[in-house]
Amino acid sequence: MTDTSVNRVQARISELRKLIEYHNHRYYVLDDPEITDPEYDQLFQELVELEEKYPQFADPDSPSRKVGGEQTSAFAPRSHTIPMYGLENSFSIEEVQAFINRIRKQHHDTEPEFWVEPKLDGLAVEVIYENKAFAAASTRGDGLVGEDISNNIRTIKNLPLKLVSTHNMPDYLEVRGEIIMRRNDFEKLNALKMEKNEKVFANPRNAAAGSVRQLNPSVTASRPLLFFAYGIGTANFKDGFRWTEQSMISHDLKQLGLPVVPQGTICADIHEIQNYYEKQLSQRQDYPFDIDGLVIKVNAISMQQHLGFTARSPRWAVAFKFPASQEFTRLKDIHIQVGRTGVLTPVALLDPVNVGGVMVARATLHNENEIRVKDLKIGDMVVVQRAGDVIPEVVRPLKEKRTGQEREFVFPEICPSCGTRVAKLKNEVAWRCVNASCPAKLEQGLIHFASKKGLDIDGLGKKWINILINKSLVKRITDVFRLKRDDLLSLDRMGEKSAENLINAISASGQNVTLDRLINALGIRHVGEQTSKVLARKYHSLDKLAQVHEQELQNIQDIGPEMASAIAEFFRNQDNIELLAELKALGVWPEQQQEHLIAAQLEGKKFLFTGGLANMTRDEAKSRVEEAGGKVVNSISRNVDYVVVGDKPGSKLQKARNLNLEIIDEQGLLNLLE
């Protein structure tokens, strides 16, 4: 290699070290990262590879030999008795196999088994207990010294301040774990910050870290944080007892009253690890919080001790990371979309990018306030993620990549569909078109009205709705029921058979629609499928529902003041009164017949399904439960009354057993319904 090439390598190593130190500071100290985790991983991996290839440039102060970031001056430093090491990352099953092979080389006479658990994406901390009582807590910091955050940590609701006495009761115990925030709590927190025009958090991990490191503990106490233990530091027992396996540590920490990382299991070999990985990846969104991979640890503590550590990580553990759920791309433009309630929603138009296996080209920006708070400009490079691995979302701009050519987005003062001046209602952040005849409102409203959860009009999709409105054949929702065969035959690409089928489908939908689906189809603000069923079951007809006072609605379970106000306002609105009168005149006016009502013997009971049912679909089972007054939920918790288990149940079955929930099979469900 020439001197010039060597100099280039040395310069690149120096550049990478500075970049990584900078981003470590942003991530660990400021809780405000500028790059995504995959971007950071690429930089770090490049540095490690260059340092291994060119050992002459080794530096003991390189960030590749450090665990995390330095502590800030806002909190007192606190040393760890045993360093809190980070983990080496693996991104493929081949890399995990290489990790196992290295262990086998050192222990060729013993086949290792592994304790494997989900890797929570949060803030690593250490919590200390002395004589069963909470004594102190600190962040990981640089792995050797962290920040004393005792006053803040003790406010976390699920963290016990006193341990439960067990036969394995240490006098002194350092518990290591992760502080996280659930996704729905993160979204609520960011929504509140946007309302106050405050800077939002980039992701739940940063929200958790920022909440823990508040100077005022009362702020931390107000944040919905959770703690989960995954291991220990030092543990002293009077009787000389020692934990011999990682699985035993997890079991005993739980017995002591500590919340532990859920779904941990023992895997005997690479095949079991791969199966567990695929299962956790597919069920990733079943968790209410973010997991970004697996942590794989040698189960035997004696083998862990023999394998030891590198300068920055244990040789007996590795992180097996999931595919990136965040990417970056160009924000090309912002388009305004008018919804069925008249709300003007800005939509980001993006250079298409693959995020977690899905091509993303559009993402909602919700409202003008979000654009301002996130400081987004047209032309920005932006971080994009799929919220809940489903809904595309623009997280933030990459300000360091700005060229000066980016443009501010000016929110329109008039509706782009009808030209009416938009308005902002009291206590709302959204701009609305107030024109009752706005074509865009009609189109979106009719799409919802005809959808599967509304009247389910077969053949009346977005394309035909758009054509019918543009041809002035439909000027209000009820015009759909007045369409004639000749009206449809006048449209391009509409044949006689198609026209006949659509007319028949419209007629059948009006005659067969149930009350709950008509309520849902009306598009009352805040009222969805479940609430529509509750209202139909309670009031039996739209005539009765229209007369209900706001206060009475608030007395119904799960209907709060905002929803009650929206329902009452809907039935006071003159346009809606005329719409309902027309529907009634057209015969689209179902009533919930008393003789068909199932006694609400399951009123308020929560059901969760896992696995396939033999004699009915999941939707059929859900409908029958709801008709009987029950409620079907997707997330498992102590509030679930019945877990219905079918064929090939998922991980929720074990969670149900851990929570001692009542588990029934399909026949048990039928017995309840009968």
**Residue 120 contacts by C-beta under 8 Å, 6 or more apart in sequence?**
178, 180, 228, 230, 261, 289, 290, 291
Residue 601 is predicted with a pLDDT of: 64
For the ranges 464-468, 517-521, 644-648, which has the lowest average pLDDT?
A: 644-648
Model confidence pLDDT, tens digit, residues 591-605: 765 434 444 567 778
Closest CA to 182 of 201, 163, 208, 161: 208
Closest CA to 667 of 639, 642, 634, 648: 642
Residue 522 is predicted with a pLDDT of: 92
Residue with tokens 């047209």: 378
Residue 169 is predicted with a pLDDT of: 86
Cα 612 to Cα 557, 615, 646, 655, distances in angstroms? 30, 9, 5, 18
Average pLDDT, integer, range 251-280: 94
CA distance 68 to 470: 59
With a pLDDT cut of 70, the percent of the chain lying above it is: 93
- What is the sign of the dihedral through the CA atoms of 406, 409, 410 and 412? positive
Best CATH choice for the domain 3-65 from the list 1.10.530.10, 3.10.180.10, 1.10.287.610, 3.40.50.2000: 1.10.287.610
CA 295 to chain centroid, in Å, comes to 21
Domain 77-321: CATH class, spelled out: alpha beta
24 versus 668: the higher-pLDDT residue is 668
Domain 439-595 fold is DNA polymerase; domain 1 (1.10.150)
Model confidence pLDDT, tens digit, residues 82-93: 989 889 989 889
Query: Is there a common fold for 439-595 and 598-673?
Result: no
CB neighbourhood size of 399 (10 A): 12
User: 577 is written with which tokens?
Assistant: 């009164």
Segments in 54-142 forming alpha helices (H)? 93-106
CA distance 261 to 296: 13
Amino acid at residue number 89: N
Query: Which pLDDT band holds residue 340 (cuts at 50, 70, 90)?
Result: confident
Average pLDDT, integer, range 16-45: 73
Residue 61 is predicted with a pLDDT of: 67
3-state SS, residue 32? coil
Closest CA to 297 of 277, 276, 315, 278: 315
CA distance 645 to 153: 38
Please give the full DSSP string across 113-172, using - where no structure is assigned: -EEEEEEE-SEEEEEEEETTEEEEEEE-TTSSEEEB-HHHHTT-TTS-SBPPP-SS--SE
pTM of the model: 0.50
457 versus 660: the higher-pLDDT residue is 457
What is the β-pairing status of strands 381-387 and 391-397? Answer: antiparallel
CATH architecture of 326-432: Beta Barrel (2.40)
Model confidence pLDDT, tens digit, residues 424-433: 877 778 898 8
Model confidence pLDDT, tens digit, residues 355-392: 766 788 999 898 898 899 899 999 999 999 875 455 78
For the ranges 52-61, 440-449, 545-554, which has the lowest average pLDDT?
A: 52-61
Domain 598-673 fold is Rossmann fold (3.40.50)
Q: Are 610 and 643 in contact (CB under 8 A)?
A: yes
Beta bridge partners of 504: none
Catalytic annotation, residues: 119
CB neighbourhood size of 589 (10 A): 16
529 versus 279: the higher-pLDDT residue is 279
Residue with tokens 């039935």: 571
Amino acid at residue number 499: A
With a pLDDT cut of 90, the percent of the chain lying above it is: 42
Query: Which pLDDT band holds residue 632 (cuts at 50, 70, 90)?
Result: confident
The mean predicted confidence, pLDDT, of the chain is 87
Residue 595 is predicted with a pLDDT of: 39
Residue 144 is predicted with a pLDDT of: 87
CA distance 591 to 570: 19
| Identity of the highest mean pLDDT range in 4-13, 472-481, 586-595 | 472-481
**Residue 193 contacts by C-beta under 8 Å, 6 or more apart in sequence?**
199, 200, 201, 373
Domain ranges of the chain: 3-65, 77-321, 326-432, 439-595, 598-673
Model confidence pLDDT, tens digit, residues 642-667: 999 988 887 788 888 888 889 999 98
Rg of the chain over Cα atoms, rounded to whole angstroms, equals 29
3-state SS, residue 376? coil
Model confidence pLDDT, tens digit, residues 221-241: 889 999 999 999 999 998 878
3-state SS, residue 324? coil
Q: Are 23 and 40 in contact (CB under 8 A)?
A: yes
673 versus 666: the higher-pLDDT residue is 666
**Residue 607 contacts by C-beta under 8 Å, 6 or more apart in sequence?**
625, 630, 631, 632, 633, 640, 641, 642, 643, 644, 669
User: 118 is written with which tokens?
Assistant: 């989900």
Model confidence pLDDT, tens digit, residues 111-143: 899 999 999 989 999 999 999 999 999 999 888
Residue 219 is predicted with a pLDDT of: 86
Give the helix/strand (H/E) hosting 610: strand 606-610
Residue 59 is predicted with a pLDDT of: 81
Residue 599 is predicted with a pLDDT of: 47
* HEC assignment per residue over 203-227: CHHHHHHHHHCCCCHHHHHHCCEEE
Model confidence pLDDT, tens digit, residues 162-185: 998 888 889 999 999 999 999 889
CA distance 563 to 567: 6
Cα 41 to Cα 24, 44, 323, 599, distances in angstroms? 12, 5, 12, 57
Residue 316 is predicted with a pLDDT of: 95
What is the β-pairing status of strands 114-120 and 265-267? Answer: antiparallel
- Burial of residue 383 (CB within 10 Å: 0-12, 13-18, 19+) is buried
